[in-house]
Amino acid sequence: MTPLLRAYLLAMAAPAALMMAAVLRMPSTPGDPVLMFVLVLLGAVATNFPVMISRHYKAHAAPAIHLAAVLLFAPAIAVAVIGLSSLLGEGFLCLRRNPASGNRRRQPIDVAFNTSQLILAGGLSALVYAAAGAPLPGAFLAAAVMYSVNTGLVVVAAGIHDRRSPLELWAEIAAADLKQATALYVAGYLLAVISLGRPWLALVMMIPVAAIQVALTRSVQLMQQTIDAVEAMADVVDRRDPYTYQHSQSVADHAVRTARRLGLPDREVEVIRLAARVHDLGKIAIPDEVLHKEGRLTPAEFELMKKHPETGAEILAKFPAYRHGRDLVLAHHERIDGLGYPRGLAGAAIALGARIIAVADSWDAMTSDRPYRKALDADVALAELLRGRGTQWDPRVVDAFAESLPWAIPAVERPRWSEVRPLLRSLGAAVGVIG
């Protein structure tokens, strides 16, 4: 954790304390103590069952309870209920350990930040609801403020950690989480309406709230199981040929590193990773005698081989997890100059993700043993990429890939002769002059 991130997380306690002081000065009416106790307990329990929505964001059912507290009680009591439920829930997580790693599920600094941001979000939404006057529009505004503040404070922390735009991160989280969050806030509104004067009904209302959480969990699990199954099929294709064992995994690693070097958002990087992992899935329909042939393919055999991107895209069309990635699989053999296949796309008409996979795929093919040749040295393979820069491959992608290599020298620091020598070796190897 960087000093700046640590300072940000700890600094959030100051505005939270000011919020507490502000709402405590406001006139308030006593609330139902039984209902307050029930909501604190339910909020603490819900906090302990999060679902990982993205790399930076976990969701749980607690926002429904928090919104209900805002709608049921005066701002001071609502903030106290939210803060206490968060402190109890996060504190319990701080005591629990992850069985796999042995690490605590929460660090004290996480407890402080999470509780502070929920107090701020709850306090602001309570003030908005109190000022709105009309119950239903006020509830809508309160939910919008609560969601925006909660996610906004999280993405600022994530942006500091990853050195990325918080707005970009917020868009990624909202795309994955907004529907589920809306359902939870609707459930929170119903929880407030039904449990007013009847605290025991709050327990009953937790059934649909829990159902939303279970549905989200099942959805995430099903998505991951689908991805695992498709990747297992792609690995089977790789294992058909001992020369391409783990090829798809290697291509995915290179593609992710290049995409991050280009500064692409996490969501786009993940689409590229998923597509790269299964980019050769269509080879499942290629006969072994063609796939394993040691000599040059005949024109008819090459035409058959050229069908594998389309076959792969057709298979992936059946899986929602690859809704965006299948287009990258379809285009990973296109060329910048338009001489690729299957559609002969050129330049910007080829999706950036497909251009990244094309470079990663070519690199792994060149640096691996194949039936028709031994693996090329890394500097020779890099020279081949440089030679095809602007004709076969996207220049910007080639540069990013080259700079992402562990042993790479940045282009601005690279002596001119260091590019010429590998290029000469590459040209020599191509005509059989140099082994």
pLDDT of res. 347: 92
pLDDT of res. 231: 87
pTM over 0.85: no
Backbone phi, psi, residue 104, to 5°: -70, 145
CA distance 203 to 35: 10
pLDDT of res. 423: 40
Q: How far is CA 25 from CA 19, 80, 161, 301, 424, in A?
A: 10, 13, 36, 81, 78
Residues in the chain: 435
Closest CA to 248 of 272, 222, 223: 272
Helices (H), 25-165: 33-47, 62-72, 75-95, 108-132, 135-162
pLDDT of res. 88: 92
CA distance 118 to 174: 18
Tokens of 259: 């995409």
Which residues lie across from 370 on neighbouring strands? 373
Helix, coil or strand: residue 388: coil
CA distance 355 to 335: 8
Residues of the chain with CATH 1.10.3210.10: 240-430
Helix, coil or strand: residue 304: helix
Cβ contact 138:128 at 8 Å: yes
Residue with tokens 């282009």: 411
Closest CA to 70 of 121, 116, 11, 8: 121
pLDDT of res. 235: 84
Helices (H), 240-298: 247-261, 266-277, 288-291
CA distance 345 to 333: 10
Residue with tokens 């709402």: 23
Q: How far is CA 247 from CA 55, 280, 293, 363, in A?
A: 26, 9, 18, 11
pLDDT of res. 425: 38
Q: What is the pLDDT along the chain (435 residues), one digit of tens a residue?
A: 788 989 999 999 999 999 988 888 887 778 788 888 988 988 888 888 776 655 555 667 788 899 999 999 999 999 999 999 999 988 888 888 777 677 777 888 988 999 999 999 999 999 999 998 788 899 999 999 999 999 899 889 888 887 778 887 788 777 767 777 888 898 889 888 888 777 777 777 667 766 776 776 677 677 778 888 888 888 888 887 666 678 889 999 999 999 999 988 888 898 999 999 999 999 988 888 887 777 788 889 888 989 999 999 999 998 888 988 999 999 999 999 999 999 999 999 999 999 999 999 999 989 887 666 677 888 889 999 999 999 999 999 999 999 988 766 454 454 443 344 444 333 333 333 333
Q: How far is CA 386 from the centre of its chain?
A: 31
Fold of 240-430: Hypothetical protein af1432 (1.10.3210)
Q: Which helix (H) or strand (E) holds 54?
A: strand 51-54
How deeply is 104 buried, as exposed, middle or buried, from its count of CB atoms within 10 A (0-12, 13-18, 19+)? middle
Q: How far is CA 212 from CA 64, 218, 330, 360, in A?
A: 11, 10, 36, 40
Q: How far is CA 71 from CA 130, 186, 190, 242, 430, in A?
A: 9, 12, 10, 63, 74
Contacts of 257 (CB under 8 A, 6+ apart): 401, 404
DSSP state, residue 370: B
Give the angle 412-260-378 at the CA atoms, nearest 5°: 60
Tokens of 266: 């996490």
Q: Which helix (H) or strand (E) holds 59?
A: strand 57-59
